[in-house]
Amino acid sequence: MLIDVHVNYYRVNRVVSVEASTLRVEVKRLRSDPSFICYNLVGTTDQGRLLIRSSENVAELLDLYDAYMDQAEEKRKAAGEQLSFADMLGGENSAG
C-alpha cells in the first residue's frame, strides 16, 4: 500500500509515495565517533530506497513511523482491504 510521506531535500519540501510495508528505522553509528548514533527513517519508492528523515532522537522517528503506519491503516480500511500476514511482518511472506 502506497502512502504519502513528507521529505525535505535541500530546503525543498516534497511529498513522495512510499510503500508502507518497507518503512523502517535504521541505526547508524559514526566510525570516527562511535558514541554518536543517528537514526534514519527509510522506505522504498518506485525509484528505489528513500531517506525520509534523520535524527539523533529515536523517539521522534518512532513517533513519525507510527503516524505513517496509522495513515497506511486508515487508507487500507478506506479501501476495504484486509491486513495481510505479510503486511504485519513488514514485507513479503517468504516462508515456504
Residue 17: CB atoms within 10 A of its CB come to 13
Instruction: Let me know if residue 94 belongs to a domain.
Output: no
Supply 14's cell numbers.
Answer: 516534497
Instruction: Let me know if residue 45 belongs to a domain.
Output: yes
Instruction: Let me know if residue 26 belongs to a domain.
Output: yes
What pLDDT score was predicted for residue 5? Answer: 87
d(Cα 77, Cα 70) in Å, to the nearest integer? Answer: 11
* SS3 of residue 74 by DSSP: helix
Determine the residue type at 6.
Answer: H
Q: Specify the number of domains making up the chain.
A: 1
Instruction: Let me know if residue 38 belongs to a domain.
Output: yes
Instruction: Let me know if residue 44 belongs to a domain.
Output: yes
pLDDT in tens, the chain (96 residues): 788 888 877 777 888 888 888 999 999 998 898 899 999 999 988 888 888 889 999 999 999 999 999 999 988 888 876 655 555 555 554 444
Residue 36 belongs to what domain range?
2-82
Instruction: Let me know if residue 57 belongs to a domain.
Output: yes
Instruction: Let me know if residue 48 belongs to a domain.
Output: yes
Question: Does pTM surpass 0.75?
Answer: no
Instruction: Let me know if residue 12 belongs to a domain.
Output: yes
